[in-house]
Structure 1
Amino acid sequence: MDKSQKLYVGIDLGGTSVKVGLCDRLGKLLAVYEGPTEAEKRAEGVLQNIELYVRELVGREGCDWEQIAGIGAGIPGFLDMETGVVKASPNLGWKDVPVKAILEERLGKEVRIDNDANVAALGEVWSGAAAGIPNAVCYTLGTGVGGGIIIKNVLCQGYSGMGGEIGHLGVVPAEEAITCGCGQKGCLETVSSATGIIYMAKEAVIRGEQTSLAHIRELTAKDVLDAAKAGDQVAARIVDRAADYLGKSMALLSVVVNPQRFVIGGGVAKAGSFLLDQIDHHFRKYALENAKTNVDIVPAILGNNAGVVGAAGLHVFG
């Protein structure tokens, strides 16, 4: 490895595992190391693990420590990005943890933190599906709906770090709305996440609708998507509803931030063109002409590595 090139470390912190990645200036992922989070050790123990994993990765790759130009971390929860404090992370059981200060003291490098969905979006913009696109919006469709907004190559964090919380756009009308985990009603997350899709499927089964889903004991979003692909009309209606509200949310964002590209990632997005084509149809149905011309919707390509790449990119796009 060229000892003169600057390198960036990205940390993707999850409830069960920590992934650490090493990237070059262009966002190329050079190496990855993964270890257990051990959340039961509380913040002090987890941050000690992170230090060990970072040093292990850098040492294993034969890099000089001086080559590390910065370290970034993607963390689930509510964060104060400016101070580097994790205000609350339910997945980790953290509250008011000064992650930036602790890691900087342990590692002797500048550390930046951001929401895990934001850094995944940044990864796709740096070297993934939106590389070279300065204005993009990225969705992560999983247990919830995460997102990240990039405007002129800058991650939109907003005044209090709530920028890009796409899953909590209120797109569902009151007469159809259910309560979201955030406490509000009508959030996109209640219909277009894996959780929302499963909820709608179970409700259809309870109502006695004729569907193959009634014969599946532990329903997953994949079951619903597969049934829709196979021609199950109830499943197809559920998927169309999820796609409809995703398209509507994109139409709203298209007249607020006017992105050139929407990137769709996460477990639900593994349904591929079957889902993306429906989302695209609904987006174009709702969006204004000038806000949808030459705008495309594409799948994410970095997969599970988007978080480490984007976290490393916090020092390039900051």
Structure 2
Amino acid sequence: MRKYYIGIDVGGTSMKMGLMSESGEVLAEAEHLTQKEDGPDGVIARMVEDAKQLADGAGISWNQIGGVGVGLPGFLDIPNGVVKYLTNLGWRNVPIKEKLEQAWQVPVSIDNDANVAALGEAWQGAGKGVDDLVCITLGTGVGGGVIAEGHLLHGMNGFAGEVGHIQVDREGVRCNCGQIGCLETVASATALVRMAREAIDQGRETVLTAESLSAREIFSACAKGDPVASEIVAKAIDALARTLAVLSLVLNPSRFIIGGGVAKAGDVLLNPLREAYEKEAQDNVKQGVEIVLAKLGNRAGFIGAAGLLARGRK
């Protein structure tokens, strides 16, 4: 009997889910409010029901579901399927794998949201056909996932791929993680807006205004030659390029995939990043390395989550 897989990407505001074939085709998808105020049990109960409705709406009986993968935004005990702490949801020590398997009676696998996004891009997106890659998501924060020799890396405590917390500026600002000068404090959308606001408060001449600050506005102003926006973007690109250069030495990937809201800047981000990487990276490791934009957008999470099981991980 042909099997199908469901992937769920849980966020602080919404849950995105998709029904996938074994080959990675998206057969159906849906998005529902997380409603985190209902607590873990309430969210999990809706997750159970919404997934069943997704399969039913696509004409797939539940006994054809080979498993469900779930991407979660926080600290996880992946081997045991336990949520240790989800900052945005306030969950602590939730045995989510056990709860879901009892409800669904199918295998369940969990992973970090950045990891499943990387897996999604590797399986069906900008990394398709590539065995060694690093996916970096530039959004509210900076997330990352590493695929090495075709396998998602987790490390001893499951924190492999946390590229957003590589220190790039010892004299910088304090990150939410407690460290000073993480990449996240320089290259995230939040960081770009913070630096622009600081420049405006200092009275520097710029077309940017405090009322309409966003990463998109900053990149747009940069493309038009605004000095403040150009300086901010250059700082972010420099930090990102140095990070990629270090990752090249440690992991030797053949491709870097850049996603998230900041990546919507397209070539305004990508072209100078490629140039900066060429200057920063060691000659022996940069040969043949590609830096490309992610392809799957908001679908990467649920596609990768489904891939946790569809690609063979139990």
Using the size of structure 2 for normalisation, the TM-score is 0.97
Rounded Cα–Cα distance in structure 2 between residues aligned with 1:36 and 1:151: 34
Maintained 8 Å contact 1:12/1:74: yes
Rounded Cα–Cα distance in structure 2 between residues aligned with 1:160 and 1:37: 27
Partner of 1:190: 185
Map 1:24-35; keep pairs closer than 5 Å: 24-35=21-32
Give 5+ residue unaligned stretches, structure 1: none
Which of 142, 149, 153 is equivalent to 2:150? Answer: 153
Which of 208, 211, 216 is equivalent to 2:206? Answer: 211
| Residue identity in the other structure for 1:28 | E
- Give a deviation string over 1:15-72, Cα, whole Å, max 9, x none: 1211111111222211102222111110000000000111001111111222211110
Rounded Cα–Cα distance in structure 1 between residues aligned with 2:275 and 2:191: 20
| Residue identity in the other structure for 1:306 | A
Partner of 2:173: 178
- Give a deviation string over 1:249-308, Cα, whole Å, max 9, x none: 000000111100000110010000110111111111111112111110111111110000
Stretch of structure 1 that moved more, 179-188 or 34-43:
34-43
Rounded Cα–Cα distance in structure 2 between residues aligned with 1:223 and 1:180: 23
Instruction: Find the residue that maps to 2:19 and give its secondary structure.
Output: strand
Give 5+ residue unaligned stretches, structure 2: none
Instruction: Find the residue that maps to 1:82 and give its secondary structure.
Output: coil
Which of 108, 111, 116 is equivalent to 2:113? Answer: 116
Aligned length: 312
Runs of 4+ in 1 over 3 A off after TM superposition: none
Query: Deviation at 1:317?
Result: 5.2
Rounded Cα–Cα distance in structure 2 between residues aligned with 1:41 and 1:12: 18
Maintained 8 Å contact 1:254/1:292: yes
Rounded Cα–Cα distance in structure 2 between residues aligned with 1:216 and 1:188: 23
Rounded Cα–Cα distance in structure 2 between residues aligned with 1:239 and 1:154: 33
- Give a deviation string over 1:161-185, Cα, whole Å, max 9, x none: 111101001122x23x110010000
Does residue 133 of the first structure (1) align with residue 130 of the second (2)? yes
Maintained 8 Å contact 1:9/1:23: yes
Rounded Cα–Cα distance in structure 2 between residues aligned with 1:142 and 1:220: 11
Does residue 59 of the first structure (1) align with residue 53 of the second (2)? no
CA RMSD of aligned residues (A): 1.0
| Residue identity in the other structure for 1:137 | V
Rounded Cα–Cα distance in structure 2 between residues aligned with 1:317 and 1:124: 16
Which of 195, 216, 220 is equivalent to 2:214? Answer: 220
